[in-house]
Every structure is written in C-alpha cells, then in structure tokens.
Structure 1
Amino acid sequence: MSQLQHPSSPSSGKEPWLAANLSLFFPGIGQLYTGKMIRGYSLIITQVGLYALSGWLILSQIGNIFIGEILLLATFALSIWGIFDAYDCAKKANPLSFEKLRTSRKDPWLAVFLSRLVPGVGHLYINRLWLSVLFFTFFVTSLLVQLVPILLKSLVFYHVYIASTVRRERNQMPILCMAIVSILFSIIISMQMLFITTHIADSHVITTNEMNPTLHSGDRVIVDKQTYHFRSPQRQDVVLFLPPEALQDNHFRDAFVQRIIGLPGERVEMQKGIVYINSQPLEENYRQGGSQDAFTPITVPANSYFVLGDNRNHSYDSEDWGFLPRQNILGKVTKRFFPPQRMGIVD
C-alpha cells in the first residue's frame, strides 16, 4: 500500500474527515483538532449542559418530560451539526494545494467514518466488496452479543484505514489511538448506562390493562429506582416489582406494575369494592370498574405492602396472591414518555 505524496504539494494538513471522526466521540473535539479552541470548548460545554438538563427534566419527578425530550432532540441535532462543522473548520484551515491532494483520491478517513456508522460500508467505499459483505454480515449477527459490536466496529474501521491504498500519515498511530479510545469510550458509556438503569432510572413497557385508566397496555414509562433508597414507599405510589414467591411458583417471571394501597402494620379490608384502611374509607379517584369485591380485615406484615391494580375487575393483585415483600419493589413509576399524546407524570 502506498502513501499519497506529490513533490510540489504539502504532505500534511488538517484532515476534514478525521475532524468529523473525532466529533463522533463528542461534539467539539473535532473543532479543537482544527485549532478552533473557543468554538470547540463552547460546543463541549453546551452539549454537557443540555444533556444534564434534559436528563434531569426526563428522569426527575418534578421535571417536564416533554421539554426534556425536546431538549434531547435539540442536543442530538447539535451533535449532528458539530460533525459537519468540524469537517468545515478543517477544510477551511487547509491550503488549496492540500485540498486538491486530498480530494484527488478516495479519502481513508471518510472510509473510517463510514465504517464507524455501519461496518462494511467503508470497505465498499474503497472497493473491497467481499470484505464489505463479510464485515457487515458479522456485525449484524453480533448485535445480540454485548460489547462484541463495539469491538467489531473498532476492528473494522482500523482495518479499512490500513487497507486504503492512499494514506497521508506516515504511521498508523492516529488510527490505532482512535480504535483504542473507541473501545474504552464505548465500554465506559456502557458501564454508565448499566449503572443508571440499575440504580437511578429505567424504562418499562406496560403489557396489561390492569392499571387502566392510569396506564394502558403499550405505554412506556420511566421507573425511578433511587427514590426508595431515601424514603419508604408511600400509599398510592405506582410501583414496578418482581413477582413474589407465590407468583413465581405459578411460573410468573415478568415484573408487575400496581398501586400501593396498604402499608406495613395497617389493617386493610374491602366492602362492596370500597377499600378501608384502619376502618377509614380510602378515596380512590383513579379506580376503574364497579367492583363489588369484599374481604375481611387483614393486617399487612412488616416490610410488606398490599397492592391493587386500578382496573379492579381485571387485576391480578394482592387480593389474589397476598402481600408484596419490600425487597421485590424495583422502583416507583413516575412518568409516561410514550405514546406522545399521553406523555406526562403518572399520578
């Protein structure tokens, strides 16, 4: 493989597609590479601020999820603009002679950029058809295995660079560093996402109509997993929980979403569909269905809760299988983010 050289042209310059590749890691880095320091740092700070604000609006119980999602879309749009802007900044920094040199043959950094988007496309760009098909097939079949797509992408875009017949760099250090950083960056992001979904917040899809009219089958909700680290579950909280032992014995494995009605130590009873807590009727303006169910007073054990679905005529809940242990509660359902017309706080 040969390096592109010309006796009357400079052999180095700012690579526009390298700047675009750097901006794929995080907006602003490509601008820093081109020497636009104020522009780069401003973009980085803006992106971090927008991500933090939109995340708070979406995940917090008091934030407006609609505004948060609009900001998240704006942040994504800014990221896309940052890639094109980094390319443009690098292109404008180059003398005309280098731009003529760069555009005279297929650009290896463009091949890298395409491979980072979809493995195999970069090899197609440099006319390596069979390698393109091979890498694309490997990528598609590896999507089910965690971290393998990340490693494969890094291998593919490293290979497409060294396989290019034209390279302006005299060594492979830039592309090697990019491959290593890509792996480390992706692993860090994956670990952060795992931490967030395990300890802070996660999403859940409602699959039944037990919580009508509050939640419908097909609704996507956000589950706050940190609230109950600081306080105990409260009456009328809508919670996501793992099936207790009685349900697991009947082969239930998927998580349930229901509403807390009775707290530890309280006496719960039902008469003609009306719930009584310590002999006092419970006001339930969220309930659906004219249930006439009744059961005699029962006392909720320590570290346990009595839960019911809002759709009382079609709910499989504590009235059927008993009390919910505290350790089975995964978090509080706080917001609905899909469908758009039902977006908002879960009362």
Structure 2
Amino acid sequence: MTIFQKIKQIHNPWLILTFSFILPGLGQMLFYQPRKGTVILTAYALLLMTGLFSVFHPAGHPLFGGFCVGAAVLLHIWNLFDSFASCKFISSYKYPKDFNIASNQWFVVFMSMMIPGAGHFYISSWLFGVVFLAAALILNGLTSISFWFLVLEVIFSMFVCWHAFYLTSRKIPEEDNEGVLVLVIVLIGTFLGLSNGVFNYVKSHFDTFAVTSDAMAHSLIKGDKVLVYKTPENDFERGGIYVFKHPKKPENFYIQRLAGLSEEFVMFDEGQLLVNREKVTDPPYNHLRYQNQGQYYNET
C-alpha cells in the first residue's frame, strides 16, 4: 500500500486541514476534490510568484506585488475553511472533544502546527506545552537577528508536531503505522515553512526603490530600481549607494552615492567633487558625471 492510499483511508477532517495548512489545495487534491485542489494550488502559486516578481524585479510594480501577495494570503485562509468543509465525513464529528483518541491525533498535529505547544495542552501534557511554547516565542524573537534562527524555528515547529503525534499515539494500539504519514507531513511542512520563512526574511530585510533623477548617471539613471539591504549597522563605504528616508516624512526617500564619511568636508566646485578640499580619485568616482543639485553639496 502506497503512502497516498494510506492517506485516503484516514477519514479525518483534521488531517485534510493539516495538509491544506501546509500548502493551499493539497488537502483537497489528496482526498475528495482533486480538480478543485489543483485550481486552488495553481492560483496560489501564480499569485505568489507574480507578487514576488513585481516586488523584487526591476520591471515590476511593488504596489501590485503587495496586492498579489495579500490575495495569496486570503486564498490560503479561505482554503482552510473549504478543506475542512470538503470532508465527506464531517457530519459524523461535532466538536474536537467528541473525537476518540485515534481521531484526536490529527487534531493535535494541526493545533501544534498552528501554535507550538497548543497540541500538548490539549492532551494535558502541560510541561511539554509550556516548554515548547516558550521556546517558540524565544526563537520567534531571535529571527530578526539571524536567518539561521528562522531555519531553526521552522525545524523546531515541525519537531513539536511530531512529538505531539508521538505522545498521542502511545495511548492507542499502533495501526497501519501512521508514523510514516506524520513524518511525510513534517518533511513537507519543514520544506515549505523554510520557503515561506525565506520570503518573509527577504521582505523584512530588503526593499526596492526607483531612482528619481539622473544625478548618478551613467551608472544609475532615472527609472532604474535598486534593491536595498535594510541594515541597522553604520558600515558606510565611500562610493556606495544608500537610501535615506526623511525622519518626519518616511514616505520621502533619497537615493544617493556616498561621497564623504563622518567628519569629512564635501565640496562640489566647477564640476569636480572634492573631499577635504582634495579631488576625489577613488575608482568608484572615475568616469562618473556629477550634477550639482544645489542642496546636497558644500556640506560637512
């Protein structure tokens, strides 16, 4: 018996919901509505790819990209309700507490996937629930420090799902070795969770801006787009291109090539850029055309 045949024999709406939470349309595809699931998955993939292209590609439009990503999120949420209602056996269940332990296994997995530790609370494993929930909150706070904390958070979340399933399965006789199935869910969830985590990391640490003038021609001209790494560190380098936002009007931004560092005197005189009254000869400034805008020069 293949893993897919084994999946279809488990008539549990929470298992369908778990697959649909991992990837929109997957629950419908594996169970009773393959065509509908394929349409949902295709629409989700198209919206997400179009959004990423529009946000990060030079020819894209960030506002339209944000709309596509938002539509993909709404489709994902609607897909959860649809997958739950699509189960033919939903009428035999009233509330999660009405399930026997065997049926509860997949409800516990789904709860653990939503909130690490919630499944353990449901089966009265209070100590593990508190430890896993606290660890998840700590890892979530550390994801902004390093990308590897994000990777660790996803792997940890999938481990919590497996552990909740393991604790629940100890209370019932082992039938059909469903541990293989939960392992498949954990592997798929880890892969897709990492993919989603990479997208969120890129979205929070990078941004795109359009050049609004020809002040940095010929290297950058009006209409070009730059991908900016949003770093809190002041590791400025002469010749680098930086984006500054107005402190009182964050919607106003300025894209400038850095000519002088801290405590240096910058001057623009007769078409020549001077730093500390000396002509700039650094390689980043060779073959560049300088344009006096009358507001950024003659300043320290």
TM over 0.5: yes
Following superposition, the deviation at residue 301 of structure 1 comes to 4.2
Following superposition, the deviation at residue 104 of structure 1 comes to 3.5
**Aligned pair 1:80/2:64, yes or no?**
no
**Separation in structure 1 between the aligned mates of residue 123 and residue 76 of structure 2, nearest angstrom:** 27
Partner of 2:119: 122
| Correspondence for 2:29 among 29, 32, 35 | 32
- Give the match's secondary structure for 1:150: helix
Considering Cα pairs closer than 8 Å and 6+ residues apart, tell me whether 1 or 2 has the greater RCO.
1
8 Å contact 2:48–2:72 — kept in the other structure? yes
Following superposition, the deviation at residue 269 of structure 1 comes to 6.9
Following superposition, the deviation at residue 136 of structure 1 comes to 0.9
Matched length: 247
Counterpart of 2:176 in structure 1: which amino acid?
Answer: R
8 Å contact 1:203–1:222 — kept in the other structure? no
8 Å contact 1:28–1:41 — kept in the other structure? yes
**Separation in structure 1 between the aligned mates of residue 278 and residue 218 of structure 2, nearest angstrom:** 23
Change (3 A) 1:117 1:31: same
**Aligned pair 1:234/2:220, yes or no?**
yes
**Aligned pair 1:155/2:136, yes or no?**
no
| Correspondence for 2:268 among 243, 267, 270 | 270
| Correspondence for 1:49 among 46, 49, 59 | 46
Partner of 1:110: 107
**Separation in structure 2 between the aligned mates of residue 36 and residue 170 of structure 1, nearest angstrom:** 24
Q: CA RMSD in A?
A: 4.4
1:152-231, aligned counterparts within 5 Å? 152-164=156-168, 165=171, 170-171=176-177, 172-187=179-194, 193=199, 197=202, 203-204=205-206, 221-222=207-208
Partner of 2:248: none
TM-score (norm 2): 0.64
- Give the match's secondary structure for 1:24: helix
* Alignment deviations for residues 242-298 of structure 1 (CA, whole Å, 9 cap, x no partner): 522799xxxxxxx94342499xxxxx9735xxx8479xxxxxxxxxxxxxx999794
| Correspondence for 1:244 among 230, 237, 242 | 237
Partner of 1:210: none
Structure 2, unmatched stretches of 5+, are 1-8, 143-148, 211-216, 230-234, 244-254, 260-265
- Give the match's secondary structure for 2:268: strand
* Alignment deviations for residues 221-250 of structure 1 (CA, whole Å, 9 cap, x no partner): 4269xxxxxx97325678659522799xxx
| Correspondence for 1:69 among 66, 70, 80 | 66
Change (3 A) 1:72 1:298: same
| Correspondence for 2:134 among 132, 137, 145 | 137
Following superposition, the deviation at residue 309 of structure 1 comes to 11
Change (3 A) 1:100 1:115: closer
Change (3 A) 1:118 1:95: closer
Change (3 A) 1:34 1:309: farther
Counterpart of 1:234 in structure 2: which amino acid?
Answer: L
| Correspondence for 2:13 among 5, 13, 16 | 16
Partner of 1:325: none
Following superposition, the deviation at residue 95 of structure 1 comes to 7.9
Change (3 A) 1:310 1:15: farther
**Aligned pair 1:304/2:294, yes or no?**
no
8 Å contact 1:259–1:309 — kept in the other structure? no
8 Å contact 2:209–2:225 — kept in the other structure? no
Partner of 1:333: none
Counterpart of 1:141 in structure 2: which amino acid?
Answer: I
8 Å contact 2:271–2:291 — kept in the other structure? no
Partner of 2:146: none
8 Å contact 2:28–2:86 — kept in the other structure? yes
8 Å contact 1:50–1:75 — kept in the other structure? yes
Computing the radius of gyration from Cα coordinates, the structure with the larger value is: 1
8 Å contact 1:108–1:166 — kept in the other structure? no
Counterpart of 1:112 in structure 2: which amino acid?
Answer: V
Partner of 2:56: 59
- Give the match's secondary structure for 2:208: strand
Following superposition, the deviation at residue 203 of structure 1 comes to 4.3
Q: Percent identity?
A: 17
TM-score (norm 1): 0.57
